[in-house]
């Protein structure tokens, strides 16, 4: 069975919060995600969801790829291939929208290595994610 990509759908929210919880992420509020949690893609094998990610579209030539999370129960060997397909597909969306740069943050070594494999520049100097809730 082949891997395929779909735009996120409302029904994906039946399980996405449990994925982030399993991976020990803080609660992700939909309103902080692009298109209220539907601004991303999901890679499937048949009807099994494998990995998802979000693309923030901006008013500049840069776009932001973030919140990549995978199905913790999916153990097949093509998991890495699914991640590569997700990132490449999000790149395709960005290119089709006229963006020339994708920015992404991660501390996960598997995501770092996948980005490197796909030609991303990875700054080896650690940096910090800084945020503040203002409302």
Tens-digit pLDDT profile for the chain (135 aa)?
Answer: 799 999 999 999 999 999 999 998 888 889 999 999 999 999 999 999 999 999 999 999 999 999 999 999 999 899 999 999 999 999 999 999 999 999 998 888 888 899 999 999 998 887 887 878 787
**Is residue 99 a part of any domain in this protein?**
yes
CB 62 within 8 A of CB 53: no
**Is residue 12 a part of any domain in this protein?**
yes
**Is residue 134 a part of any domain in this protein?**
no
Strand 62-70 relative to strand 101-104, pairing: parallel
What does DSSP assign to residue 79?
Answer: H
Tokens of 59: 């008013």
CB 103 within 8 A of CB 62: yes
**Is residue 105 a part of any domain in this protein?**
yes
The pTM for the full model equals 0.90
Q: Provide the number of structural domains found in the chain.
A: 1
- Distance (Å, rounded) from C-alpha 48 to C-alpha 51? 10
CATH number at residue 80: 3.40.630.30
**Is residue 123 a part of any domain in this protein?**
no
Q: What is the dihedral of CA 51, 39, 95, 64, to 10 degrees?
A: -80
**Is residue 55 a part of any domain in this protein?**
yes
């Amino acid at each position: 069975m082949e891997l395929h990509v779909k735009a996120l759908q409302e029904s994906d929210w039946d399980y996405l919060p449990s994925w982030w919880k399993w991976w020990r992420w803080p609660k992700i509020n939909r309103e902080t995600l692009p298109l209220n949690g539907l601004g991303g893609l999901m890679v499937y094998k048949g009807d099994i969801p494998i990995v998802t990610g979000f693309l923030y579209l901006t008013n500049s030539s840069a776009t932001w790829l973030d919140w990549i999370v995978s199905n913790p129960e999916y153990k097949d060997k093509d998991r890495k291939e699914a991640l590569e397909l997700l990132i490449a597909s999000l790149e395709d969306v960005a290119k089709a929208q006229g963006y020339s740069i994708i920015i992404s943050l991660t501390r996960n070594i598997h995501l770092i290595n996948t980005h490197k494999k796909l030609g991303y520049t990875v700054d080896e100097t650690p940096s910090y994610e800084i945020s503040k809730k203002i409302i």
